[in-house]
Structure 1
Amino acid sequence: MRKKNQIRLVLLVMFFIGGFTACDDDDEKVLVGNPDFSFNSETGEYKVKIGKEVALKASVTDAVNPVYSWKQEGVIVANDTVYLFKGSQLGEFFVNFRLDADNGSVEKQVKVTVVDRLAPSITMSASAVAYCGLEKEMAAMTDYTDESTTFEWSYNGKVVGHDSIYVFKEDDINVYTVALKVTNEDGADVKNINISVIPEEKPILFFDNGRYVLPSQLNDVRTMTCPIGKNVVLAPVKFSISDLAVYEWKVDGVVQEGETSICYNFTPSVEGKTYEITVTANDKEKTAMATVNVVCEAPEGTHFRETKATSSYISNTCYEFIPAPGQFIRFTQNQTAEDARMSIQKTLDSGGGESWIASLGAWGGYFILQFDHSVKDDGKGEADFDIVGNPLGKHWCECGVVWVSQDENGNGIPDDTWYELKGSETGKPGITQRYALKYFRPTAEKQDVLSIDNDGNLRFLARNAYHPDSGYFPWFLKEEYYILTGTCLGNQFKTEGLETNWGFDWGYVDNINEPTGFRIENAIQQDGSPANLKYIDFVKVHTAQMGQGAAVGEVSTESSAAIDLRLKAKK
């Protein structure tokens, strides 16, 4: 027993320091985490008809040498992860499941209600997606069914099926409604499912120039800049291409031998020259190609802009504001992208900017701001500029990622290469660079917004019940969809009691940051290597998290303008 307790103590200590333990002489590593489990009922509540049985199931994770027990009224009734509860009398009953493992113990309770009548319940999502001209198999997801259960599918006012599975097919882009009625001897349930029909995804490659992309722009040749004597890491954004793809890079038509990854480190050697660089992805039977022009500019610092007595410490020009859909996005059909930009510019022109100036909408929504001078990296590891949001402590943050750019070509507009500022989560598992989300324009103003990401994940952005009449979609974008790109920090959203979205340690907008402010020295290339920028001229902020709640709506970064901290201190 003493030896077992010693082993348990060692495992717990190693978990708390976040380390790895060697498990044999070959240095194999095992990650030790907290044991936990979830029930096959998301709510922890079950119903069963009297005389019938219901399966209570626990799915266990990260348990070392686990022992299980189900207890009812203090008595152990089962010692597996499944317990068949029989409804022998009407009423409410409480059952505890306990997990004991070498690395910890967990116990949770469920409620079982035994009723005399139990009508079926449909648990399917109210939204689904199908592709134009392709069959979509829809399976009835129901609870409380038995041998008496019948199914009835209706479409276009007609009954179209009586099986638990219905095959749907339409050729045209639109939203269609299918109804499902499930009946047993105790009653019935009905569910309407809205099916969004979209074109089948095709493999796509394109280079990110920091701005949104429309379908008509996917084949455009983008331009990036790189000062002589420096390098730029090129990496395209991909859609419908797996991580197993092999890439071929060409510079001015010449294949770059040995360059087969998605990142290519390019160093131009002739000032003033424009290099045509192409990349082709080969992913089994799929192929896609993209082209970027890289202009070799004058040495870094050539277009540096010194501060003047009239210089503003606030980034006082909004170049572009393209929000993602969201409950506070109120741009109508009759407005334009210029109207969106001016909604921020008017605030800046009236002396605002030090508190938040815009809600950016769901993931990817962004603005681009410009300083009237170049902001230097102080070279001392101190913060160079700041951007604030309105987080409510650590439990409610809506984190945005910051990008920076130099006016490397000296034309005064942000059409140069963009660099992400790394934060505490950069490089960690679950954090995705070159993430992209395609938002489809709804066919009606009060529809939920469908999106698909570049890994093929489909989701709907639902309307918030507290803001049902707000714009939700930037209607000035008239094409079938638009694509937003950037870095995805993942989903921290939780709905256990209060809806929360926890922040990160440092480096993000609308987040409790420690230390405060942003450092130009944290600018990185697409492969994570340092960009080594001496100064910046432009700043971009985009919403970087997923998540949506019933009360608070979607996670949406709210951001101020960028503030030059050293110039502010002098004013």
Structure 2
Amino acid sequence: MMNEFWRTIAKLLMLCCIAALASCGNDRNLGEDEGVITPGGDGKNPPVITFDNGTGIYTVKILKDITITPVVDNATDPVYTWKDEKGKIVSTDASFTYSSPADGEKFFTFRVDAKNGSAQEELRIDVMDKMIPSVSLIQYYSTYVGESVTIKSAVNFTEGSTYKWTNEEGAIIGDKEEYTFVATQEGSFNITLTVTNEDGPGKATTTIRVAPERKLNITFENERQTVPAGRAACVAPIITDNTENTTYAWEVNGEPYLNETKPTFTFTPPAAGEYKVKVTGTDGDVSAEAAQTIECLQSDETARYRAPQAGSSSSKVTVYNLLPAPGQFVQQISGKTEAEACRYAETRMNEVDNYVSLGAWGGYIVVGFDHSVYNASASDNNQYDFSIIGNAFNGSSEPGIVYVMQDENGNGLPDDTWYELKGCETGKSTTWQNYSVTYYRPPTYNMPVQWIDNRGNTGTTDLRPAFPGWLKGDSYELRGTRIKERTFLNNNGIWSNESYEWGYADNYGEDFLSDGDNHDANAIGNGFKIKNAIYPDGTPVNLRYIDFIKVQTGVQSQAGVLGEVSTEVYGFRDIQMEKAPGQL
């Protein structure tokens, strides 16, 4: 949620708020450079304008009044000026009240001139003939007999609205913004919410699927896993609804491995070929099983190493995949297809040194250099192998989890095995592996995006979130590792995203490659070591090089009017390219 259009110019605590805004929240899609910040002649810090709704976009009905009161911080003896699109002064007060006899988009500029400098922001008022509520519900819930589900709605134009929840028979079962469904019997149940105001009703329906009881479930995210000759494969299924009494049995091509009883299994293929690895979980009289095929390649690790050449670049990358989660800056990403979006991201990072926003939790980007990145940290722990450029600063970290991959099959594509890089949160009880979130498209623009995760939690991404433009469906799922957020609202009303010690992109941690607090939110990298690549069970992989890098927003967090916490990526650097060997 980084807003690159603000640049803070001091270290005052108040300007942590500017920086948080710089990080997060006031890009209103009205142009990248419309904001103006002018320092005072005495070198003091300028005023800061924050819109009370966080977006600078307001909605009002024809002939109805709307009063807008921006928050102005750090202004000494301020003078206020409001101008319309023609430059006419329409108010000189701190607030502005507006009404219109016609619908349409109306633009205004709010300016603050003070002894310590000036600031200016543009806002938009959408005047509408009618404001009928749009209603959004998560499409599906799953639960069990004897348990309950709380259904939360997202609705716009709620002023003066009434709520009516009805079941399939049309009976009214609730009249609040949310409704708790108690599962008393197995089956599938449809619940409808109708929200009505003076302009009319809006409605949406959700389905609750009720199973008779919780049941052990074991699956694999991928049916296949590849490894080069000589490397172990860590077989790690996704296990849900298990208990501490669950036991596990493993077999390879039908042969049992009696000493393997953990929920993960590290298997080293004895020769090239395919191996079917099956796990059976047992919990009382309930059992479940799943299988994954391990493909051991003919070639070993050294065979696919691509040494840097004379024309190799340490900074230009190819973007292979780009799938942000919904976020306030996702609509900036141009492209009708993912391939077009990837080319856009390459231009942003390789040519204009600008950022790509990954949106809320789970949004990711996959890149590769024109050569392999050598693991220098394996022999020198003081060395970083590559860096990822973000714009974190003291008080604003939006951590991205990093994964690496070798081109094990040599086809030039990131379709082999991902290994997560260990960070300071790895192994903690608050860190969730095999986490997934499904995001649901709202019925109209400028509404919160609802989500539900694979643990039954629900929430919203609130500040003008957008789906990636190339996705056409009503929902999509993202999967990965989630770390606990460090988002706080301080006593002075300023939001803060505190840093993590080490191991994450766009994070003001120990591996931040710059001195000082970076209060200007400049594009600066974090350093990463290939030696920190781990299997899903946390043991080291010991990769000698990598070919692909994946960065994924690691937290699911909202910072109030600043919006979602989203990792921003400006680019990548191979730090050790000049020292990389010609062959392994």
Query: For this structure pair, what is the TM-score category when the shorter chain's length is used for normalisation?
Result: 0.5 to 0.7
Higher relative contact order by CA 8 Å / sep ≥ 6: 1 or 2? 2
Q: 1:169 and 1:480 mapped to 2: Cα distance?
A: 27
Counting only pairs closer than 5 Å after superposition, residues 403-418 of structure 1 correspond to structure 2 as: 403-418=403-418
CA contact (8 A) 1:153 1:159 kept: no
Residue 324 to residue 377, structure 1, CA distance change in 2 (3 Å): same
Match of 2:507 in 1: 511
Q: 1:163 and 1:546 mapped to 2: Cα distance?
A: 30
Counting only pairs closer than 5 Å after superposition, residues 130-169 of structure 1 correspond to structure 2 as: 131=141, 154-155=164-165, 160=172
Counting only pairs closer than 5 Å after superposition, residues 34-53 of structure 1 correspond to structure 2 as: none
Counting only pairs closer than 5 Å after superposition, residues 194-273 of structure 1 correspond to structure 2 as: 196-197=206-207, 205-208=218-221, 221=223, 223-238=224-239, 245-271=246-272, 273=273
CA contact (8 A) 2:438 2:476 kept: yes
CA contact (8 A) 2:249 2:279 kept: yes
Q: 2:468 and 2:189 mapped to 1: Cα distance?
A: 20
Query: 1:177 pairs with 193, 216, 219, which one?
Result: 193
Q: Which amino acid aligns with 2:402?
A: V
Give the CA deviation at 1:421: 0.8
Give the CA deviation at 1:161: 5.7
Match of 1:363 in 2: 361
Match of 1:299 in 2: 300
Q: 1:276 and 1:180 mapped to 2: Cα distance?
A: 56
Q: 1:513 and 1:262 mapped to 2: Cα distance?
A: 33
Query: 1:374 pairs with 372, 375, 382, which one?
Result: 372
TM-score normalised according to structure 2 size: 0.60
Counting only pairs closer than 5 Å after superposition, residues 308-347 of structure 1 correspond to structure 2 as: 308-330=309-331, 335-347=336-348
Give the CA deviation at 1:281: 4.1
CA contact (8 A) 1:240 1:455 kept: no
Match of 1:56 in 2: none
Q: In structure 1, the residue corresponding to 2:576 is in which secondary structure? A: helix
Q: 2:286 and 2:325 mapped to 1: Cα distance?
A: 30
CA contact (8 A) 2:435 2:480 kept: yes
Residue 255 to residue 500, structure 1, CA distance change in 2 (3 Å): same
Q: 2:221 and 2:142 mapped to 1: Cα distance?
A: 28
Q: Which amino acid aligns with 1:317?
A: T
Residue 257 to residue 442, structure 1, CA distance change in 2 (3 Å): farther
Match of 2:401 in 1: 401
Q: In structure 1, the residue corresponding to 2:346 is in which secondary structure? A: helix
Q: 2:216 and 2:469 mapped to 1: Cα distance?
A: 27
Q: Which amino acid aligns with 1:375?
A: V
Q: 2:271 and 2:312 mapped to 1: Cα distance?
A: 35
Give the CA deviation at 1:237: 2.9
The answer to whether 1:557 aligns with 2:567 is yes
CA contact (8 A) 1:401 1:509 kept: yes
CA contact (8 A) 2:333 2:345 kept: no
Match of 1:530 in 2: 540
Give the CA deviation at 1:438: 2.5
Moved more, 193-202 or 480-489: 193-202
Q: Which amino acid aligns with 2:453?
A: D
CA contact (8 A) 1:238 1:454 kept: no
CA deviation profile, 1:199-241 (whole Å, cap 9, x unmatched): 56997644346xxxxxxxxxxx2x2222222212121234555
Moved more, 240-249 or 529-538: 240-249
Q: 1:333 and 1:282 mapped to 2: Cα distance?
A: 49
Q: 1:438 and 1:551 mapped to 2: Cα distance?
A: 23
Match of 1:540 in 2: 550
Match of 2:484 in 1: 490
Give the CA deviation at 1:345: 2.7
The answer to whether 1:452 aligns with 2:464 is no
Aligned residues: 404
CA deviation profile, 1:37-85 (whole Å, cap 9, x unmatched): xxxxxxxxxxxxxxxxxxxxxxxxxxxxxxxxxxxxxxxxxxxxxxxxx
Give the CA deviation at 1:568: 6.8
CA contact (8 A) 2:423 2:503 kept: yes
Residue 455 to residue 166, structure 1, CA distance change in 2 (3 Å): closer
Residue 139 to residue 534, structure 1, CA distance change in 2 (3 Å): closer
Q: Which amino acid aligns with 1:177?
A: L
Match of 2:66 in 1: none
Structure 2 gap ranges (5+): 1-135, 153-161, 514-526
Q: Which amino acid aligns with 1:543?
A: T
Moved more, 129-138 or 452-461: 129-138
CA deviation profile, 1:274-304 (whole Å, cap 9, x unmatched): 1122334445676654432211122211110
Match of 1:423 in 2: 423
Moved more, 256-265 or 397-406: 256-265
Q: Which amino acid aligns with 2:471?
A: L
Give the CA deviation at 1:519: 0.6
Q: Which amino acid aligns with 1:507?
A: G
Q: In structure 2, the residue corresponding to 1:487 is in which secondary structure? A: strand
The answer to whether 1:440 aligns with 2:440 is yes
CA contact (8 A) 2:421 2:503 kept: yes
Give the CA deviation at 1:388: 1.7
CA deviation profile, 1:454-501 (whole Å, cap 9, x unmatched): 222222222x1xxx3x5x223533456433222211121112321111
Q: In structure 2, the residue corresponding to 1:505 is in which secondary structure? A: coil
Q: In structure 1, the residue corresponding to 2:347 is in which secondary structure? A: helix
Q: 1:345 and 1:162 mapped to 2: Cα distance?
A: 50
Give the CA deviation at 1:342: 2.5
Give the CA deviation at 1:380: 0.9
Q: 1:153 and 1:168 mapped to 2: Cα distance?
A: 16
CA contact (8 A) 2:137 2:450 kept: no
Q: 2:334 and 2:181 mapped to 1: Cα distance?
A: 32
Q: 1:203 and 1:333 mapped to 2: Cα distance?
A: 43
Q: In structure 2, the residue corresponding to 1:548 is in which secondary structure? A: coil
Give the CA deviation at 1:260: 3.3
Residue 436 to residue 261, structure 1, CA distance change in 2 (3 Å): farther
Match of 1:80 in 2: none
Q: In structure 2, the residue corresponding to 1:411 is in which secondary structure? A: coil
Counting only pairs closer than 5 Å after superposition, residues 279-290 of structure 1 correspond to structure 2 as: 279-282=279-282, 288-290=288-290
Give the CA deviation at 1:433: 2.3
- CA RMSD, 1 decimal: 4.1
Give the CA deviation at 1:510: 0.6
Residue 356 to residue 511, structure 1, CA distance change in 2 (3 Å): farther
Q: Which amino acid aligns with 2:232?
A: N
CA contact (8 A) 1:363 1:545 kept: yes
Residue 495 to residue 251, structure 1, CA distance change in 2 (3 Å): same
Q: In structure 1, the residue corresponding to 2:301 is in which secondary structure? A: coil
Residue 309 to residue 325, structure 1, CA distance change in 2 (3 Å): same
Q: In structure 1, the residue corresponding to 2:435 is in which secondary structure? A: strand
Residue 444 to residue 254, structure 1, CA distance change in 2 (3 Å): farther
Give the CA deviation at 1:363: 0.6
Residue identity over aligned pairs, in percent, reads 35
